[in-house]
Every structure is written in C-alpha cells, then in structure tokens.
Amino acid sequence: MIMLTSFTSDSIISYNFLITTVLVLYCYQRILEHELLRNKLILESINYPSEKITHLHFTQESSN
C-alpha cells in the first residue's frame, strides 16, 4: 500500500504512517531471522546428525 501510494501522497514519509511502517518492518525482520535460523538448524542437523538432538533440544528448551 505504502509503495503504491508513494507517488501521489505522503504515506511514505508522513508521521501518520511512519511508526506503523517501522513496526511492520520489525515484524518482517523477525520472521526473516526466524526463518534463517530454522534453515540453519535444519542444515546443521543434516550435516552433523549426531549433534541434532542436543541442538534442537536446547532451542526448544530456551524457547519454552
């Protein structure tokens, strides 16, 4: 929405939208980091099967 309206309105920079844009980008970044971490763990578990259980177990515990 911001992108589409950026040519003909100040939604891109107005303080009416800015804080929400920052919150949206924060959520986006967190999801992205989570996905990257997940992929990394999967890759590690494939490459080092013996460490798989310990590593994933630790992650599970810390997230609880």
Partner 1 sequence: MWESIRVHWTNPNLKMLSMDKKTMFIFLLVIFSLKFFDASVANTGILKNISFGYMFVAIVISLPFLFKSSGGFVLPIQLICISMVVSIFMARFTWDQGFEYSPSTIPYAIWFVFFFLLKLNIPIKTIENIVLIYGLIYIVLFIFQFTHNNVVYFGTRELVQDRGIIRIVFPGSGVFFLSCFIAINKVTSTDKYRYLWLLYALLGIVIIVLQVTRQAIVVMLLFYLIHFLKNVKLIYKIATIAFFVLAGYVFLNSGTSISKGLIEQQKEDASAGGNYVRIVEAEYYLTQFTPNTISKILGNGMYNDNSKYGKVIVNLEENYWYFLSDVGLVEVYVLFGIFAILGYLLIFVKSLTIPLPENYYYLKYYL
DSSP 1: -
Q: Which helix (H) or strand (E) holds 47?
A: helix 15-47
Nearest-5° Cα angle at 25, 24 to 28? 90
Among 25, 42, 43, 53, binds partner 1 (CB under 8 A): 25
Region from 28-36, 37-45, 46-54 binding partner 1, contact rule CB under 8 A:
28-36
If binding is defined by CB under 8 A, does position 43 make contact with partner 1?
no
In the bound state with partner 1, the residue whose beta carbon lies nearer, of 15 and 49, is 15
Least separation in angstroms between CB 49 and partner 1: 27
**13/23 Cα distance (integer angstroms):** 14
